[in-house]
Structure 1
Amino acid sequence: MTLDRPPVAASTTERTLERSRWDRDEAVPLAEATIGGLLADRAEHQPDAPALIGRRHGDSAEQRYTYGELFTEARVVAAALLRVAEPGDHVALLAPNVVEWPVIEYGAALAGVVLVALNPALGPHELTHALTLSRASVLLHADTSRDIDLAGRVAQIRSDLPDLRETISLADTDRLRADPTGPLDRATPTTPAMMQFTSGTTGKPKGVLLAHRSLVNNARFTVITAEVPAGTAAIAPLPMFHTAACVISTLGPTWLGGAQVLIEKFDPGDVLRTMVAEDASVLFSVPTVLGAVLEAARRTEGPVPQLEAVLVGASTVPGSMIEAVEQTFGASVHNLFGQTELSPVLSLTRRSDSREDLVTKVGRPLPHTDAQIVDATTGEVLPIGVQGEICARGYGQMIEYYDDPDATATTVDPEGWLHTGDLGTMDARGLITVTGRLKEIIIRGGENIAPAEIEVALAGHPEVLQSAVVGLPDDHWGEIVGAAVVVREPGADGVEGRLEEFCRERLAKYKVPARWFVVDELPTTASGKVQKFALRDQLLSGEPS
């Protein structure tokens, strides 16, 4: 296994497309690597470099690891896991962003077990479903997460899980430690490393099985393409159970030989102070988190950190936010687009992209990834600029939806293309614009309306912090456009009228929302994506948050 140190440069291949099809760029070779092998390599070549900073489970004391120390600790955890599981078994982890999370991630990788990443906010029925679906034989869990009694929740559902052989609290440190013996790494690049769950924005989550090589290379290509400097300290506030965190903001810094600064409980003021204290130059984020950090920076009387890069996903970042990040932190902003099934990043914007590209697009595909825009009905590749379904194919796509061959076959076609369910366009340079979800398209009197276009327009209004647009039933039109907005100054008079006028100046008349809802917050998944189905239900019931 050969790992580039420092990282190779990102490819700058330029091309002009005649149709909406991007063929993979192979100028940068794939790394045939495992998660554990990546950590072992860094520990061998830079054992004293800072690798991980976070808060311990239980007492929230700060814990700092060098690469040498992190590898040693991961081997101890791997040995402990192999006392209760075999390579290939599914081991679940239910915990908030404590420092044990990435340690166990590396330990599970070295042990060759599949790590099942669980959201600590799951209710008893949801947790039972996830553990049953994943066929986890071992569950590692924190005792608490914010105000949730996780130990009590595990005890409550334990009798409903006959396949679950062992439950181990992170407080039981003796059971998480053993003397390492045998091979350093029991995985191969193509074996399953992790099971993630789909975000649940449109319905019940499915288990997504992902390989070592997919995760390592996706993190690697993301930080290389964003030109993140080697050795950087990166702030990681996103929830670890999601690929944005346990892949991009964990394995990304490790590829660069830098430090992951793990944020246990997100507080924008604390994030600012941590950036300064750790001399961090990179922030991994979603728009809601980034907006909160910007608001805190505007109000702080303390120093404001200067950053090299901000990587942000889950939805397109509005131009006003990009400008604010550049002015406040001095950072380049990179819009990321993807989904769990793609490990997770498909595309991102480059530093060389124009201002218009940064504001309206999600960039070109990462290396070794094909992408195309197709007619969702016929599967035909569409002309440049025509809206269709975004599809991808390459090293990063999932192995399968676990134990669900029908869903897998529905998502991955016979030619190997993974159908994302997202709508978008591709320009002649290969840059992708996301326009919405297939299931979110609003059909008003026969006119197809993409909610994302309206949300982008609303993001340009100075009173709007966040918005989400959904279709609402109407006797005359079939559907009408409804917009829920979170405003900067709650309680301001006449805001709906001002927003409507703003939209009329920028959108076709039929796209202007017919109903407005000023809300305190939008329902989101833990990864920051708006749950449109939940929002629609709230609006129809007359009970928006």
Structure 2
Amino acid sequence: MTLTTSYRPADTDPPLWEETVGALLVRRAAEHPDRPALVGTRHGDGAPVRLTYAELLDEARRVATALTRLVGPGEPVALWAPNVVEWPVIEYGAALAGVVLVALNPVLRRPELEYALGHSRATVLLHAERSRDHDMTAIARQLPGVTAISLADTARWRAEAADDAVVAAEPTDPSAPVMLQYTSGTTGNPKGVLLRHRSLVGVAQLTMAVTAAAPGAVCVNPLPMFHTASCVIGTLGPLCLGGTEVLVEQFAPGPVLDLLHREEASVLFYVPAVLGALLEAQRTDDRPAPRLRTVMGGASTVSPTMIQAAEDVFGAAVINLFGQTELAPVLTATRPDDARADQLGTVGRPLPHVEVKIVDPVDGEVVPLGAPGEICARGYQQMLCYLHDPEATAATVDADGFLHTGDLGALDGRGYLRLTGRLKELIIRKGENIAPPEIENVLVAHAAVDGAAVLGLPDDGSGEVVAAVLRVREAAPGLRDELVAHCRERLSPHKIPACWFVVDEFPLTPTQKVQKFRLAELAASGELRELR
């Protein structure tokens, strides 16, 4: 089939698993009852926990039994906790109970927490006692109209034994809702993204399939559980493999390197900040680097330099994933056997069973092959809706059922997708559209640059000027001139940054994306340090 426009029909191989999260756990426990399923640390005392598949299913069914005594089928139950082993156990228990798990960021302050609970209409909150220096119990006790249950009060959220009647009534409909995720918006209140069993299971299944992760793999997951990258790919991904999830409670590069060695892991889930920190730590580690088979992740632009470094150091195939929460969360992935240029310069091809089109952001028409436009997708993994927000849902999902991502990209005739920016982040200089990722990739290829964020700043003459905010290894004299020369060799003149700043650390969202709106605020207030 020869494509002339930027529309990619869905591949249909392999078949999509049509089962619930709970049914998949039941199947794996029957197949591999004694295989390690989950490794982590316990809430409260940090004691190590290792559960086989049979033990994990028993724990989850006991949680399901307790939850059915607290709420009815289809009702929300909120979970507010860091990466303790109870998190995935409750995730599975909620799925088996047929309730909707509301995944909450443990750093939320009281107003943010009250908004999420009120918006989701959750009347039960399962919460940790603390997350780092955050006293979660003190806040939870002040919430009106909510039954707050500490994870330390085990008997209230986990029954002594599973109820046979609850087990017999475990959900079987993969189209039913199972999880509510809140987007980390930059303006206004976050939206509640309602996801179904089919979305979570299918994305985990097909992501593991196209990335060729090994059956039975030991998978290290240092990503925050409240986000789909962790509770779907990092948790249900190992389940799909019949493998082991090793959950990291608090990321620190040295201890995670130790963990990779000790558990003989073959898969690592990452965001660029995590992978960069591990590469930096390995540089000063006397031991040989842990040997991995697969390193998969994304969340923001992953530079070719970082991909190459991770492959050289860990010996792994580095998989670049792209998507968003509304897509549960993966839309495309590179493959281990892709050509080098595709691995370094694209975010791969769509997962099976999803259609992709690229449209003109103004008129909504599908653009020619290779032309940039807004990335849209239609398939099993897209959200049911934005909860209680039909207007926002209608603005995001068009009349043909395609979800508009707000990301810009270009599709080639083979189905490979190249990202070109975000609709909201395009820099418009004298009528020219400039996409930050291209410039960021050029900047991080320079040996002195450890990280780069490019954004537009207001300018009376040009509309916007290009600004680069850098994290550098050493701000040596003359570095700015050196970087300008570096860019001149690789970029058109209008793309070369006019303003240069350095920071010690980037402001990040909870999912490790750079908050460019915050950088713009700091630049406007004169709080960013200029690179001389």
**TM-score (normalizing by structure 2):** 0.97
Matched, 1:364 2:349: yes
The residue that corresponds to 2:80 in the other structure is 94
Q: Identify which range, 225-234 or 373-382, moves more after superposition.
A: 373-382
The residue that corresponds to 2:26 in the other structure is 40
Mapped partners of 1:139, 1:400: distance in 2: 23
The residue that corresponds to 1:502 in the other structure is 486
How far the C-alpha of 1:342 sits from its partner, in A, is: 0.3
Partners of 2:195 and 2:383 within 8 A in 1:
yes
Partners of 1:17 and 1:430 within 8 A in 2:
no
Partners of 2:181 and 2:194 within 8 A in 1:
yes
SS at match of 2:111: helix
- Give the 3 Å change call, closer, same or farther, for CA 389–544 of structure 1 in structure 2: same
> Which residue of 423, 441, 444 maps to 1:438?
423
How far the C-alpha of 1:522 sits from its partner, in A, is: 1.1
Matched, 1:400 2:388: no
- After superposition, the C-alpha distances for 1:114-139 in whole angstroms (9 at most, x for unaligned) are 00000011122111111111111110
The residue that corresponds to 2:335 in the other structure is 350
Partners of 1:202 and 1:533 within 8 A in 2:
no
Matched, 1:239 2:221: no
The residue that corresponds to 1:227 in the other structure is 212
How far the C-alpha of 1:319 sits from its partner, in A, is: 1.4
1:244-323 equivalences under 5 Å are 244-323=229-308
The residue that corresponds to 1:467 in the other structure is 452
How far the C-alpha of 1:203 sits from its partner, in A, is: 5.0
The residue that corresponds to 1:173 in the other structure is 154
The residue that corresponds to 1:421 in the other structure is 406
How far the C-alpha of 1:316 sits from its partner, in A, is: 2.8
Mapped partners of 2:44, 2:522: distance in 1: 37
> Which residue of 37, 54, 58 maps to 1:51?
37
The residue that corresponds to 2:66 in the other structure is 80
Q: 2:195 corresponds to which letter in structure 1?
A: L
Q: 1:127 corresponds to which letter in structure 2?
A: L
The residue that corresponds to 1:9 in the other structure is none
The residue that corresponds to 1:109 in the other structure is 95
Matched, 1:410 2:391: no
How far the C-alpha of 1:495 sits from its partner, in A, is: 2.3
> Which residue of 515, 523, 526 maps to 1:531?
515
- Give the 3 Å change call, closer, same or farther, for CA 202–505 of structure 1 in structure 2: farther
Partners of 2:359 and 2:367 within 8 A in 1:
yes
Mapped partners of 1:364, 1:202: distance in 2: 31
Q: How large is the RMSD of aligned CA atoms in angstroms?
A: 1.2
Partners of 2:141 and 2:148 within 8 A in 1:
no
- Give the 3 Å change call, closer, same or farther, for CA 529–187 of structure 1 in structure 2: farther
- After superposition, the C-alpha distances for 1:239-291 in whole angstroms (9 at most, x for unaligned) are 00000000001000001000000000100111111001000000000111100
Mapped partners of 1:412, 1:186: distance in 2: 28
How far the C-alpha of 1:187 sits from its partner, in A, is: 5.1
Mapped partners of 1:272, 1:408: distance in 2: 42
SS at match of 1:527: coil
Partners of 1:316 and 1:362 within 8 A in 2:
no
The residue that corresponds to 1:125 in the other structure is 111
Mapped partners of 2:314, 2:422: distance in 1: 32
How far the C-alpha of 1:29 sits from its partner, in A, is: 1.2
Partners of 2:186 and 2:517 within 8 A in 1:
yes
Mapped partners of 2:99, 2:191: distance in 1: 20
- After superposition, the C-alpha distances for 1:423-478 in whole angstroms (9 at most, x for unaligned) are 01011111001111101111111111111111111121111111111110111111
Partners of 1:276 and 1:303 within 8 A in 2:
no
Mapped partners of 1:36, 1:503: distance in 2: 52
**Structure 2 residues without counterparts, runs of 5 or longer:** none
Mapped partners of 2:54, 2:523: distance in 1: 53
Partners of 1:316 and 1:359 within 8 A in 2:
no
**Structure 1 residues without counterparts, runs of 5 or longer:** 1-14
Q: 1:236 corresponds to which letter in structure 2?
A: N
User: Structure 1 stretches (4+) deviating beyond 6 angstroms?
Assistant: none
Number of residue equivalences: 525
Q: 2:89 corresponds to which letter in structure 1?
A: V
- Give the 3 Å change call, closer, same or farther, for CA 267–304 of structure 1 in structure 2: same
Q: 1:170 corresponds to which letter in structure 2?
A: L
- After superposition, the C-alpha distances for 1:173-214 in whole angstroms (9 at most, x for unaligned) are 111221322142135211101000113246531000000011
Mapped partners of 1:535, 1:235: distance in 2: 32
Mapped partners of 2:219, 2:86: distance in 1: 18
> Which residue of 131, 136, 142 maps to 1:145?
131
Q: Identify which range, 405-414 or 146-155, moves more after superposition.
A: 146-155
Q: 1:142 corresponds to which letter in structure 2?
A: A
**TM-score (normalizing by structure 1):** 0.95
Q: 2:118 corresponds to which letter in structure 1?
A: T
